[in-house]
Every structure is written in structure tokens, then in C-alpha cells.
Amino acid sequence: MRLKGTPVSPGFATGSACTFVAQELAIPRYAVPEGERAAEAARLEAALAATTAELHAAKESLRGKVADDLLDLFDVHAVILQDPALLKTARDHIFAGGLNAEYALERAVQTVAAALLASGDTYFQERVVDLEDLHTRVQRHLHGQPSVMAVPCGEARVVLATNLSPSETGNLHHAAIAAFATEHGARTSHTAIIARSLEIPAVVGVAGLMAAAAADQRVIVDGVNGLVILDPTAEEEAEYASKAEAYREYRRRIEAEGRREARTIDGHVIRARANIDLEDELHTAMAAGAEGVGLYRSEFLYLQCSPNLPSEEEHAALYTRICEAMYPHRVTIRTLDLGGEKYFHKVLEPEGQNPVLGVRAVRFTLRHPDLFKTQLRGLLRASARKNLAIMFPLITTVDELRACLALLEECKSDLEAQGVTYDPEVPVGIMVEVPSCALTAEAFASEVSFFSIGTNDLIQYLMAIDRNNESVAGLYDPMHPAVLKCIGHVCEVARARGLRVSVCGEVASDPVMTPLLVGLGVTELSMAPAALLEVKAAVRNLSYEKCRRMARRALKAGTGPEVAEIVKSHARAGGAGRQG
């Protein structure tokens, strides 16, 4: 029987199943007499403490086996558990409302989850999954049923579960695990991230998995195509044994080549850089052979300092650390891109009907020159090593760019007056993510050192779809000829002026898009650190000249599916592709 799910960690594995069906916990609801409320609150606090201890043990069990920054995930969970608002709300329900600990906790979790969802910030919204996961764990302690998942020793087993929390994933690592498959879960869940880091093939979101699966049954997990095969035939087992071997060989090769530059078979070099949101990701990026940072999203510094604003010194210290870690590679830092639906911060004014089309990014910072100049001076202070570049987001008109450059000049004079050293030649570039900017790229070219195409927003604005609205996600097509024409035009202008041109939107992480982007004339790709090895490997399989010809054909196509067909036939004729 074949079941489909979301592939979250690549690779192939076969083994016998170890099944874990989550027990539904009924949350009891009863009144607690006044005199017993303090003891009830103590019972809740003990369950919270036991869960924290469990997280700590899981973290220690993974130490040395995964990158240190992944261990921080457990600290994120500990911070959520220790959230004073969570405990205070639950205690209020116990003391003022006379609720029992289980029900008080459930109500408090609902309140905190609602606040996270209403924050408008994707990072906080995604933490709701973690909160719910932690909620179940604390409830298990309150019910006197702490989670125990034991995998028998001996032959490597395939773990099939309703869901796995990160700590359970961590605990399971003691045992010989060949693969994971779960009925719930998403690509961005921490469990998926840990599975990738442990290099264990994993598929999540497999509907009907636990009803169909049985303990000790033979199972194949295909973490490349998102398949779970229960009771495979002998032919299927043989087919997957050879796929697994080919995949291991492929990984060995791309890891060995990871540090080398990405050069096509006809000698054309594409710079592969990392997109970084948090400083911690630098280690993963460097381990995967990043040749610098192509996009540092500085808004996270503002979110970390919220409700205050980062000082010039805080800006300078963070950017200096990144530039030192990456030296001599270039680090491109994007100035604040707050606003729209993107991130929420108290400095933002309430928005009108269409925040995505409103005061966002430089539209916001240009209206707050003091805030903007604090960041620009921080950037200049960090530029003395000469490997820092500054990038302005969401540029729409040349006047806007000039206003940004004028403020930068004022900041240079401020620093000179103070005798502070900085790089007077600091490269300045723009994000090309508004169609007006892409189509008039030549008007910007003489004032910048580089272009960086932000396809996430460019596609949003070109196709008139909110990038966060699932109901129009079907129109989000990076292969649409309108998108290719914009990218192609910016590349042509850059080439004529001898400028670097990067793509830093999510499409840069997709090896299927690599031949098209290279063929259109992109000189750099900046992507999620996890994508670096594979995209660099994809470049090494390409012929630049063939990509150029393929891109010329694609530019003449009328629809996205026609372009997809052109890309597929290029791959079939010997282009790059992932194994499997």
C-alpha cells in the first residue's frame, strides 16, 4: 500500500515498523475548592518543571550529534514553557476561577496561541505548533502518563507515529532509526529540521498512516518523493535498496565538493551565498560552503530588541560579528523591511486596507530618518573590514533610491566628524522586487553596485497575489514568462553595466530553477543554507551555453506550464537533477 505525504528530509530507507499511536488525552474539568487551589497550582508547576527537565535531557542526548544551533530549538521550547504570561493566566484560572490544573492550562494555552496568531509575524505564528506540542507533553505529566517511546535495539527500525515532538525525535535518536513517517507535521516543524540534521529520511503529513500501519510490518520511506510504502513487494524492496545506495553515493559526492565553488562544466562560476535571518544560521551556512551572505534580513534584530529599538552600537556589534565570521566573503545586509503583512513592531503605524501595498521597507524607513540613520551608521561602523555591502529593500522609484543614498552620505559625514573608520567605498545595491523597478532597471544601474532580485515579492506584485494567501497560491508561479522577462531584463542591464546580479528569493533554493536562473544571466544565488549543497551540485552539472539557449526559448513561451516543459526537456537531455 502506497501513501503520500510531504517529504521533509531526503533519502530512502527500508525496515520493520515501530508504531506509536498518540493517545487522545481527555482534559478533565472540575471545580477546585478554595483551600486546595495552592496545591493545584503547585501540581501544574511540577508538570511544567518535569517537561522542562525532559526537554533538557533530550537536548543533551543530541549534543555532539547535530549542529549546536539546532540544540537551540530546545531552548526555544523551554522559553515558551517558561513564558510568564502562560503561567500567570493558568494560575489566575486556578486561583480566581477555581479551575483544575488541566483545564486551566488548556485555557491559558488557547489565550497565548491566539496572541501569537494575531501578532502578524510568521515566526511567532509558527511557534503555535510548538506551543501545542508542549501543551500535550505537560498534560501527559498532569495525567501521570509521561511520553515513553522505546524502540527495540537491534535492526534499524522505521518509526511510524501520529506525531513526533522535537524532544521525542531527540530521544529516539538513542535507538537505531532508519526513517520517520508521521501522520501530522509540516516542512518547517522543528522535528523536520532535526530529521534533516540527523540525515534520517522523513515524510510527514501522511493521511491515514496510523490506521493502515501495523507494528513490525515492512515499510519503505521515500524522503525524496514523499512516499510511504507499507508491505512492499520484493521488487519494490530491491528497487529501493539500489535507490538508497545511489542516494548515499550522491550525498558523499556533493558533500565532498561542497566547499569548492560552483562552476558549470564550461567554466562559468556562479557565487552561492546564504540567506540568513538569525546569527545562529551562520554556522550551518559555512558548513554547507556558503561564499558569503547574500541577504541578511535585519528585521530580526528589531524583533529581538522589541519593544525597544536597536541602538547604533547594537547594529554595529551584530553586523561586525557576521562580517568577521564570514571574512573574507561578502556579507550583504538589507536595511529594515518592516511593514505590510510581514513583521509587526510597535514602531509601525496602523495600516490601511492593503498593507502589502502600503508603508513598508524603505517607504517606512524614509519616513523615520532618525531610525534609518541609526541603522546606516551601525552598518558603516561594521564596514571597516571591507566585506560588507548595504542593500535597500522594496525600491520603487529612482527618487527613493536617491533619498536613501543621501541619508547614507549624511551618515558617512557624521562618522568622519567623529573620526570613526568605515569603508568609504561600501558597495550599495537594491532589492529588485517591485515590477516598476525591474522594468526600468537601467535607470537605477548607474547609482548602484549590484541588483538582488527578490522573487518572493516580485512574483507577489507581478501576479497580483498576496504571498501569504493560500487561496491564490496556485497563481504563484516562478516559471511564469512575466517573471522570467523581469529577471531576464534586470540581468541584461546588469551585464551591460558590469554589475553583479543575484536572486535571493526562495526560487534560488530550488535546484529545478537553477538552469533557468543561470541561463537568464544571474551571477549569484543566495538561498536557505540547507539548499546550498544541492544547488551548488546542480550548477556543476550544467552547461552555461545550453542554459543560455534554454532560457532564450523559455522567454518566448506564453505560459508557466510551457516554460516548465522546456525546463524538463532540458533536464532530460542531460541537465542537473536530484537523485531519485
Residues in contact with 19: Cβ distance below 8 Å, sequence separation at least 6, in sequence order: 160, 161, 210, 213, 214, 215
297 touches, from Mg ion, ligand PEP, none (C-beta below 5 to 8 Å by class): ligand PEP
Q: Is 477 in the site for ligand PEP (CB under 6 A)?
A: no
User: What DSSP designation does 339 have?
Assistant: B
Query: At 264, phi and psi to the nearest 5?
Result: -70, 170
Site for Mg ion in 415-454 (CB under 5 A): 433, 454
Which of the residues 323, 437, 491, 504 is marked catalytic? 504
Is residue 491 within 8 Å of 515, Cβ to Cβ?
no
E strand or H helix at 421, and its extent? none
E strand or H helix at 409, and its extent? helix 398-418
E strand or H helix at 454, and its extent? none
Q: How far apart are the first and last CA of the chain?
A: 20
Stretch that binds ligand PEP, among 76-84, 302-310, 436-444, 450-458 (CB under 6 A): 450-458
Stretch that binds Mg ion, among 14-22, 294-302, 303-311, 457-465 (CB under 5 A): 457-465
Binding residue (CB under 6 A) for ligand PEP from 51, 169, 455, 502: 455
Long-range contacts of residues 305-309, Cβ cutoff 8 Å, at least 24 apart: 306/345, 306/346, 307/346, 309/347, 309/371, 309/374
504 touches, from ligand PEP, Mg ion, none (C-beta below 5 to 8 Å by class): ligand PEP
- Active-site residue 504, yes or no? yes
Residues in contact with 555: Cβ distance below 8 Å, sequence separation at least 6, in sequence order: 481, 484, 485, 488, 520
C-alpha cell at 281: 544560521
User: What DSSP designation does 24 have?
Assistant: P
Binding residue (CB under 6 A) for ligand PEP from 7, 226, 258, 454: 454
What binding mask, one character per residue, do residues 196-235 give for Mg ion by CB under 5 A, x or -?
Answer: ----------------------------------------
Stretch that binds ligand PEP, among 265-273, 284-292, 400-408, 451-459 (CB under 6 A): 451-459
Closest approach of Mg ion to the CB of residue 454, in Å: 4
For residue 275, the one-letter residue type is: N
Q: Is 448 in the site for ligand PEP (CB under 6 A)?
A: no
Q: Is 505 in the site for ligand PEP (CB under 6 A)?
A: yes
Site for Mg ion in 327-356 (CB under 5 A): none
| Total residues binding ligand PEP (CB under 6 A) | 10
Which of the residues 135, 173, 190, 480 is marked catalytic? 190
Q: Is 456 in the site for ligand PEP (CB under 6 A)?
A: yes
- Active-site residue 283, yes or no? no
162 touches, from Mg ion, ligand PEP, none (C-beta below 5 to 8 Å by class): none
User: What DSSP designation does 361 have?
Assistant: T
Q: Is 299 in the site for Mg ion (CB under 5 A)?
A: no
Please confirm whether the linkage preceding 511 is cis (ω < 30° from 0): no
Among candidates 267, 320, 270, which has minimal Cα distance to 291? 270
Query: CB 533: neighbour CB atoms within 10 A?
Result: 19
Binding interface with ligand PEP (CB under 6 A): 295, 297, 337, 433, 454-457, 504-505
Active site residues: 190, 504
Give the residues lining the site for Mg ion (CB under 5 A).
Answer: 433, 454, 457
